[in-house]
Amino acid sequence: MNVLIGLTLALALPQATPVTPASETASGFLYKELALGGVTYAYCVYVPPHHPAGEALPLILFLHGSGERGDDGFHQTEFGLPAAIRRCGVRPRALIVMPQCRAGQTWSDDMARMALRCVEQTAREYKVDPERLYLTGLSLGGAGTWLIGAALADRFAALVPVCGFGGTEDAEKLARVPIWAFHGARDEAVPVAQSRDMVAAIRRVGGQVKYTEYPDLGHSCWDAAYTDPELYRWLFQQRRAAKPDAREQESPPGEPRP
Distance CA 177, CA 191 (A): 24
Distance CA 184, CA 242 (A): 30
Residue type at 146 in one-letter notation: W
Phi and psi for 211 in degrees, rounded to 5? -145, 125
Ordered strands of the 39-47 beta sheet: 28-36, 39-47, 95-98, 57-63, 128-138, 158-162, 179-184, 209-214
List the domains of the chain with CATH numbers.
27-248 (3.40.50.1820)
Whether the Cβ atoms of residue 113 and residue 83 lie closer than 8 Å to each other: no
Distance CA 70, CA 8 (A): 25
pLDDT of amino acid 208: 87
Whether the Cβ atoms of residue 121 and residue 32 lie closer than 8 Å to each other: yes
pLDDT of amino acid 9: 54
Whether this model's pTM surpasses 0.95: no
In this prediction, the residues of the chain whose per-residue pLDDT falls under 50 are: 1-8, 16-17, 19, 21-22, 242-258
Distance CA 44, CA 46 (A): 7
Which among 93, 92, 115, 108 is positioned nearest to 44, based on CA atoms?
115
pLDDT of amino acid 10: 59
pLDDT of amino acid 52: 82
